[in-house]
Amino acid sequence: MLKLNVKNETSRLRAVVLGTAESNGPTPKIEDCYDPKSIEHILAGTYPKEADMVKEMEAVAAVFKKYNVTVYRPEVIKDCNQIFSRDIAFVIEDKMIRANILPNREEEVKAIDYIWNQVAEDKRIVLPEACHVEGGDVMLWNDYIFIGTYSGEDYPDIITARTNANAVIAIKELFPNKIVKSFELRKSNTVAKDNALHLDCCFQPIGTDKAIIHKNGFLIEKEYEWLVDFFGKENIFEITKDEMYHMNSNVFSISEDVIISEKTFTRLNTWLRKQGFTVEEVPYAEIAKQEGLLRCSTMPLIRD
């Protein structure tokens, strides 16, 4: 049996699900895309190639090996994009919650059944159908659960809106001992630079008291200001619109002092090292073209 334990984003990682880029399938048709950034790259002829993405993910697997982290991979489904394991399920404390994701991604969920089945039955949670949520919108921070959401009336038409108010309520009910705070995110089906696909695309806590944040990712300024006050302005690394577009907030913590980051994030990586973090740099720019990066492609199962 897997004894799950995740209470925040940065405690020492012991076991993780890392997605896979194997058998990723051909370049998708524009009408089959879930986000504006993928569409941009299809139109420009720069959509990432499978071999390059496999190489990038292996670089992350090598870092996990270096730190003795147990790595699980999804079972490979032919011609299916299975990179973003954070979307399909997530762990809060000792429970695994199966995400209700876009219906045409159901297959991806089945690919981790062998992990799901190792979790005690009373710790497996399937939310009601009306609750839409993806792991990229759910961020654990000790007593808090931060959730990115979108509650505009046009929610059904916004394919980039992945987590709704029903899911926020359901998570509150599941974890009455936690303070659940939701944040309205800016969404765009058409302009990648105006789209915060998930909360981790514009915000992420790191270390014990710091955070990376992009103001414009938040629809309501007061909610952004709450986070700045919570962490303290001096502990925050503000990223620009371009840096958000390149996914600078989507790094991944192995521990409170070790962070995996993309090697081209020069400004961020320099700041992190100045703050005393060990930065493990990996190439991930091809995967980033699909509007996801390191946090999106990892799903922690056990942290100390």
Q: What is the pLDDT of residue 27?
A: 82
pLDDT-derived band of residue 52, with 50, 70 and 90 as boundaries?
Answer: very high
Mean pLDDT of 21-28: 84
Of 3.40.50.460, 3.75.10.10, 3.50.50.60, 3.40.50.720, the CATH number of 13-303 is 3.75.10.10
For range 180-195, the mean pLDDT? 78
pLDDT tier for residue 47 given thresholds of 50, 70 and 90: confident
Q: Return the pLDDT at 160.
A: 58
262-290 pLDDT tens trace: 999 999 999 999 999 999 999 999 998 87
Q: Where residue 103 falls among pLDDT bands split at 50, 70, 90?
A: low
- Residue ranges of domains in the chain: 13-303
Greater confidence (106 vs 302) lies with 302
Q: Which residue has the higher pLDDT, 256 or 37?
A: 256
Instruction: Return the HEC string of the chain.
Output: CECCEECECCCCEEEEEECECCCCCCCCCHHHCCCHHHHHHHHHCCCCCHHHHHHHHHHHHHHHHHCCCEEECCCCCCCCCECCHHHCEEEEECEEEECCCCHHHHHHHHCCHHHHCCECHHHEEECCCCCCCCHHHEEEECCEEEEEECCCCCHHHCCCCCCCHHHHHHHHHHCCCCEEEEEEECCCCCCHHHCCCCHHHCEEEECCCEEEECHHHECCHHHHHHHHHHHCHHHEEECCHHHHHCCCCCCEECCCCEEEEECCCHHHHHHHHHCCCEEEEECCHHHHCCCCCCCCCEEEEEEC
pLDDT at 179 over 80: yes
pTM here is 0.92
Confidence of residue 158 (pLDDT cuts 50, 70, 90): low
| Statement: residue 12 has pLDDT above 80 | yes
Mean pLDDT taken over the chain: 91
pLDDT of residue 159: 61
